[in-house]
Amino acid sequence: MRAVDSIADACRHADIICGCTHAAEPVITRNLIDPGTHVTSVGYNIDGREVDGETVRDSLLVVESRATITLPPPAGANDIAWAIRDGIIAQDHIHAEIGELVAGTKPGRTSPEQLTLYKSVGNAVQDAAAAALVFRRATDQGVGRDVVLG
């Protein structure tokens, strides 16, 4: 790992790109991404998007929920909704929900060169389930500390 001077430098030749910005204009763009890269995008801006339409188009696209990904703000993800609106992709370009990959009912990447994109919109049920798993593991291992609030 090394420090770089720009987002473009960070994206070039990366195996994994994790975006968590409030960008109004895409900072993760197709021209910066090599074949085989995985992109996880959790960034959100009501007036913009973090990932450009070409990256969405060229990726095996996985989302948290098909039902919420294209909802208007403050829900949904402009990255996906605008790509559909602009005719870059169709609704059926969404390959899978993350739960389908975890359950094994949908396949993931089919070749080492395939570009993959996971777009998260912050599904509270999944966040709560993940927190419960972490809490249970910590409790089972006797780690952590009880904190009384209030």
Can you list the residues of the chain whose pLDDT is less than 70?
none
Q: Is the peptide bond before 74 cis (omega within 30 degrees of 0)?
A: yes
pLDDT, position 133? 86
Q: Which residue has the tokens 């430098």?
A: 9
pLDDT, position 74? 86
Domains annotated on the chain, with CATH: 7-141 (3.40.50.720)
Q: Which residues, 6+ apart, have CB-to-CB distance to 40 below 8 Å?
A: 16, 17, 18, 19, 117, 118, 120
**CA–CA–CA angle 108, 36, 44 (5° rounding):** 75
